[in-house]
Amino acid sequence: MMARHLGALSLLLAWALTASAGGKAGPTFETDVLPILNAHCLQCHGGVHQKNDLDLRTMSSALKGGKSGSVIVPGKPDESLLWKKIARDEMPKTDNKISETNKKIIRAWIAAGAPGRKNDRTIDLARPARMPAEVARIIDQEINSKLVAAKIPASSRATDAEFLRRTYLDITGKPPTVATTKAFLADSDSERRGKLVDKLLASPEYGQHFAERWLNVFRQMAVIEREWEPEPFLGWLGARFNAGKGWDSTVRDMIAVSGSFAENPQAAYYYYNADMQGKFEPKIMVGNLSQVFLGVQLQCAECHNHPFSDYKQKDFWGLAAFFSITSTPNNPPDTRGVRDRLPKQAPKPGTQVIVTIPQGEARNAGTKVRAKFLKGEEPELDAGASFRPALANWLTSKENRLFARASVNRLWAQLFGRGFVNPLNDFGDHNAPSHPELLESLTDEFIVSGFDYKHLIRCICLSEAYQRTTHVVKGNEVPEAEPLFARMTSKVLPPEELYDALCVALEVPEIAPPVDPKKKGNKKVNPKAPPPPTSRFLFVKFFRNPGDVDEPTELKLGVPHVLKMMNEANFNTGGNLVTRVMKSTKAPEEAIDELFLAVLARRPSSVERERFLAFASRQKSAEEAYRRIVWVLINSSEFVLNN
C-alpha cells in the first residue's frame, strides 16, 4: 500500500520536475508571448478586428499570417515582419508600446523556433478515486514546491479555534455555537479535524449552504433581480448535495428538465436565464452557462467573434441552437414550466437543428448556425424531440474537461478565496492557472469520483494548505504570495452568512427589523396575501446592494451597512448572549471569555483580556460593559470575515 503510494508520488515528482525544467528552457507561445500580444496587439489583430487579415489570437493563426504574407519565420527573428515592426516601435500603433523586456521575449521565442506549449500529460480516468489523505498530500506537495521555488515562506497551521470557525462557515455557512466550540477546543483526539469535516459534511446544513451559494451565483448572473420564491429549487438543490449526488447529474437534470415547476423544482433554473420580462432566452442561457459551468466568456461571442480568445459567433450560436424551441411562461410558478415547442408532425429524418442569428446588435444577422457542441461535433439530433438532453449530456460528460475543471476551480475559490484561474469564468490561454498540474489532477479526481463534491471538499480540507492560518509570516505578506496560497485568505461573509453568524453570536432565533412606530396599529390580515418577508430576507436585501456580485475577497458593504450594525437597537443590546452571561458568570474574566467564545469562537489572548477587563471596569455596570463588548466584537473585521 505504502510502496504503491510512494511509487505514484515519485512518478508525480519526476513529471513535475521535467515539466518545470521544460518551462525554463525557453518561452512558449501560450505562457510567454500571448500575454504580450493580448495587452498590445489583439485589439486590432484579434477577434473583433483583423487589420490586414492578421489574427494573433492563436499560434496557428499567427503563423498563418495575413495580407502581407507570413509575419513569423520560425528560428529567424530578423526575417520576421512581426519582430521588425515591434522592434522599430512601428507596432503597436497606439501609445502603448512594448517594453524592452517583452520585446526580448518575443525575439527569443521566434529564435527558438516559435514553439507552443507541450502537453505531455496523460489523463487516466480509469483509475478509482484516491483516499482523501492522499489527495491532500498531492495538493500540499504541489503548493509547497511552488512556494519553495518562489522563495516565499508558508504560514503555520491555524489554531484549532481558527480551523473550527473556518470549516463551519465554509461547509455549513454558520459559525459554531459556544458549546460546540468549547467541546472542540477541549478535544484531544489527534483526528479531531478530519472528524469535524466529516461531521459537517454529513449535516443537512451542508447541502442547504451549498445550494444557497449556487443559487446566488445564478441570481447574480440573471439579467434582472426579481423577488421570487426560490424555496422549491433551493430545497431540491440542497437535497442533491446532501444525498451526495454527482454534480454532473445535478447539472444535467437542471438543463434537460421538461415539465411543470411544481413537479420539477429545478425548472426554476430557466427562470434565472430569462430576459427582463421573464421570458426565457437561449442567448442569455448560453452566455450564463458557459461562464458558470464551462468557465469561458462565451457571451462575448454573441455579437462578434471573441476579441481575445478563439471563440467565434458560430460557437455561441451553435450552443444556443439546442435551446431554440424551449419556452417558459413569464410568471412562474406555473403549471406549464419548461417546455419545448415540438413540431406537430414528425419531421423528416436528417432535419437539421439550426438557429438564426437574430437582427439586433449582433453581426452577421440572418446567418443560420447548426447545433454544435463547443469546440466539438455537430451531433445528429432528433428534430422531433427536445434537444436539451443531448446538450446536458455533452456538458456534464467525463470527456468535457471544461465542466469538471471549472467546477473544481470554483470550489477551490470558495474555500481559498481565489481560484487557480481568476476570474472564475475566464479560462483560456491568455489566463494561465497558478497551479496547472494541480488543477488537472484535481479535475481528474473530481471526474473519477463521480463528480463527488463531498469527496473533493474532504480532500481539500485535509490539506495543510487549507489549514494554514491567515496570519502572515515575514516574507509572505507581499502580493506575489497570494496566488501561491502561502497563507489562507480572509474571505468576506455573504449577507446570508453574516445574518446567520449574528443570530448564532447573539443567541437569538432571528434579528427582526425595527418596527416603524408610524405603522403600528391594527391591520386586517388578508388570508390570501402571501406571507410577509422573513427577517433574514429583509436583512439580506439591505446588505446586498442591487446588482452586486458576491466576491470572496472584495468587501461590498458600505457605510450605510456599517451604520446599521453600529446603531440599530438589535446590535446594541447584546441579544440573549449578554442576558445569559449575566446570569451564568460571576467574574468579569469569565464573562469576557464567554463573550469571545460566543462571537468569535475563540478565547481572548492575554493582551486582549487585559484590555477588555480594563474597559469593563470603567463602565457603569457589568451589563453595560458586556453589551459594549459584544458590540465591539460583532462590528470587528474578525467577525464579518471568515479568517
Partner 1 sequence: MNSFELLNRRDLLKLSAVGVMAGSSSGWLLPRVAYAQERRSERSKACIMLHMQGGVSQHHTFTVPEYRAQNSQIQTALPGVLFCEYFPRLAARMGDICLIRGMSTGNSVHERARVLMHTGYNPNGTVAYPSIGNVASSELGAADTELPNFVNIYGGSDGLGSGPLHRSAPAYLGPRHAPVPVNDPARGMENLRAAVPLDQFDSGAALLNDFEAMSQAQRPSTAAAAHQANLRRAVQLMHSDRMRAFESEREPAVIRNGYGPTQFGRSLLLARRLVEAGVPFVEITLDGWDDHGGAVNNIRRRAQYLDPSISFLLDDLKQRGLFDSTLVVFMSEFGRTPQLAESGYNQTLGAGHYANAWTTWLAGAGVRGGRVIGRVDHRGGAVTDRPVSAQDFLATMCHALQIDYRKEYMTREGRPMTFLGASARPVQEAF
Q: Which of 426, 550, 589, 623 binds partner 1 (CB under 8 A)?
A: 426
Within 8 A by CB and 6+ apart from 454, the residues are 201, 206, 244
For residue 380, count other CB atoms closer than 10 A to its CB: 12
For residue 428, what is its C-alpha cell? 483560456
> Is the Cβ of residue 427 or residue 453 nearer to partner 1 in the bound state?
427
The single residue listed with the C-alpha cell 507541450 is 118
Q: Does 361 bind partner 1 (CB under 8 A)?
A: yes
Q: Which of 216, 299, 386, 400 binds partner 1 (CB under 8 A)?
A: 299
Size of the site for partner 1 (CB under 8 A): 71
For residue 344, what is its C-alpha cell? 406537430
Q: Does 228 bind partner 1 (CB under 8 A)?
A: no
241-270: contacts with partner 1 (CB under 8 A): none
- Any idea what DSSP says for residue 29? I
Q: Does 609 bind partner 1 (CB under 8 A)?
A: no
Q: Does 69 bind partner 1 (CB under 8 A)?
A: no
Q: Does 618 bind partner 1 (CB under 8 A)?
A: yes
> Is the Cβ of residue 67 or residue 620 nearer to partner 1 in the bound state?
620
Q: Alpha carbon 409 to chain centroid distance?
A: 7
Handedness of CA 172, 176, 177, 183 (dihedral sign): positive
The single residue listed with the C-alpha cell 509572505 is 476
Residue 543: Cβ-neighbour burial (10 angstroms; 0-12, 13-18, 19+): buried
307-326: contacts with partner 1 (CB under 8 A): 307-308
Q: Does 364 bind partner 1 (CB under 8 A)?
A: no
> Is the Cβ of residue 376 or residue 533 nearer to partner 1 in the bound state?
533
Measured CA distances, 478 to 25, 397, 432, 483 (Å): 28, 40, 21, 11
Q: Does 629 bind partner 1 (CB under 8 A)?
A: yes
User: For every residue of 247-316, which 3-state class applies, written as one string?
Assistant: HHHHHHHHHHCCECCCCCHHHHHHHCCECCCCCECHHHHHHHHHHHHCCCCHHHHCCCCCCCCCCCHHHH
For residue 116, what is its C-alpha cell? 507552443
Q: Which of 159, 605, 617, 621 binds partner 1 (CB under 8 A)?
A: 605
Kindly indicate which of the ranges 66-74, 201-209, 280-288, 319-327 contains the residues binding partner 1, using the contact rule CB under 8 A: 280-288
Least distance between partner 1 and beta carbon 635 (Å): 6
For residue 106, what is its C-alpha cell? 518575443
207 phi and psi angles, rounded to 5 deg: -60, -40
Least distance between partner 1 and beta carbon 427 (Å): 13
Q: Which of 266, 297, 326, 463 binds partner 1 (CB under 8 A)?
A: 297
Residue among 367, 354, 441 at smallest CA distance from 139: 441
Kindly indicate which of the ranges 250-258, 293-301, 373-381, 399-407 contains the residues binding partner 1, using the contact rule CB under 8 A: 293-301
Residue among 209, 159, 206 at smallest CA distance from 184: 159
100 phi and psi angles, rounded to 5 deg: -60, -40
> Is the Cβ of residue 141 or residue 572 nearer to partner 1 in the bound state?
572
Least distance between partner 1 and beta carbon 569 (Å): 5
Residue among 301, 314, 297, 310 at smallest CA distance from 429: 310
> Is the Cβ of residue 241 or residue 499 nearer to partner 1 in the bound state?
499
Q: Is-contact 347 336, C-beta < 8 A?
A: no
Residue among 143, 2, 221 at smallest CA distance from 460: 143
> Is the Cβ of residue 256 or residue 616 nearer to partner 1 in the bound state?
616
For residue 621, what is its C-alpha cell? 455596570
Kindly indicate which of the ranges 50-58, 144-152, 163-171, 217-225 contains the residues binding partner 1, using the contact rule CB under 8 A: 217-225
> Is the Cβ of residue 278 or residue 384 nearer to partner 1 in the bound state?
278
Kindly indicate which of the ranges 29-37, 110-118, 241-249, 603-611 contains the residues binding partner 1, using the contact rule CB under 8 A: 603-611
For residue 45, what is its C-alpha cell? 489583430
463-522: contacts with partner 1 (CB under 8 A): 469-472, 477, 489-492
CA distance 460 to 166: 13
CA distance 440 to 421: 12
Q: Does 377 bind partner 1 (CB under 8 A)?
A: no
Q: Which of 51, 239, 367, 615 binds partner 1 (CB under 8 A)?
A: 615
> Is the Cβ of residue 378 or residue 550 nearer to partner 1 in the bound state?
550
511-570: contacts with partner 1 (CB under 8 A): 545-548, 553-564, 566-569
Q: Which of 129, 268, 408, 640 binds partner 1 (CB under 8 A)?
A: 640
Q: Does 96 bind partner 1 (CB under 8 A)?
A: no
Q: Does 63 bind partner 1 (CB under 8 A)?
A: no
Q: Which of 74, 423, 450, 483 binds partner 1 (CB under 8 A)?
A: 423
